[in-house]
Chain A
Amino acid sequence: MTEKEDPQPWHDYDDGLVLLPDDGKKHVFDNPKNVRLAIRILFVCCGILFLLDSLFLLFHKHLSFAEDVFPAEGWFGFYGVYGFVACVLLVLAAKHVMRTLLMRKEDYYDE
Chain B
Amino acid sequence: MSSLHPALILFAGALILPLLKGRVRKGVLVLTPLLGFLNVLMLEPGSGLPLVFMGFELDLVRVDKLSLLFGYLFHLAAFLGAIYALQVKDKTQLVSALLYAGSAVGVVFAGDLLTLFVFWELLALTSVFLIWARRSKTSFSSGLRYLLFHISSGLFLLAGAAWQYYETGSLAFELMTLDGTSARLIFLAFGIKCAFPFFHTWLVDSYPEATPVGTVFLSSFTTKAAVYALARGFPGTEELVIIGTVMAMFPIFFAVIENDLRRVLGYSMINQIGFMVVGIGIGTPLAINGAVAHAFNDVIFKGLLFMTMGAVLLRTGKIKGTDLGGLYKSMPLTTGFCVVGAASISAFPLFSGFVSKSMVMAAAGQEGHLWVWLCLLFASAGVFHHAGIKIPFFAFFAHDSGIRTKEAPFSMLVAMGLAAFLCIFNGTFPAFLYSLMPYQVDYAPYTLTHVVTQTQLLFFSALAFTTLMLLRIYPPELRSVNLDVDWFYRQGGRLVYRGSEIFLSGVNAFTFEDLLPRLVHRIRLFFKEAPSHLMVGLLTPVWIAQSKSRSEILEKKQDYYEKARLGAIPIGVTACLAVLLLGILFWF
Contact = CB atoms under 8 A, between A and B. Distances in A.
Main secondary structure of the interface of B (DSSP, over half): helix
A104 B480 contact: yes
B365 A94 contact: no
Interface string A58-76: 0101111110011000000
Given A10-B314, A22-B404, A65-B365, A50 B456 contact: yes
A83 B409 contact: no
B464 A84 contact: yes
B463 A19 contact: no
Contacts of A13: 87-89, 314, 409
A51 to B, nearest CB: 10
Contact of A27 (B93, B252, B329, B465): B329
B482 A84 contact: no
B481 A84 contact: no
Interface string A1-35: 10101111110111111111111010111100000
B460 A55 contact: no
B431 interface: no
Contacts of A29: 328, 397
A98 B254 contact: yes
A108 B478 CA distance: 14
Candidate in B93, B368, B464, B465 with the most chain A CB atoms within 10 angstroms:
B464
A27 B377 CA distance: 37
Contacts of B478: 99, 103
B482 A98 contact: yes
Interface residues of A, number: 74
Contacts of B452: 49, 52-53, 55-56
Contact of A23 (B364, B373, B404, B448): B404
Interface stretch (B183-191, B217-225, B468-476): B468-476
Candidate in A17, A18, A106 with the most chain B CB atoms within 10 angstroms:
A18
B480 A83 contact: no
Given A15-B409, A65-B373, A9 B212 contact: yes
Q: Closest 9 A-B residue pairs measured CB to CB?
A: A64-B365, A87-B464, A12-B90, A94-B256, A83-B460, A83-B457, A95-B475, A80-B460, A20-B404
Interface of B: 87-90, 93, 134-138, 209, 211-212, 252-254, 256-257, 313-317, 328-330, 361-362, 364-366, 368, 370, 373, 377-378, 381-382, 385, 397, 400, 402-406, 409, 447-450, 452-466, 468, 470, 473-475, 478-484, 490-491
9 contacts: A6-B136, A7-B135, A10-B314, A29-B397, A46-B460, A62-B450, A64-B366, A79-B456, A87-B385
Interface of A: 1, 3, 5-10, 12-23, 25, 27-30, 39, 42-43, 45-46, 49-50, 52-53, 55-56, 59, 61-66, 69-70, 77-84, 86-88, 90-95, 98-99, 101-110
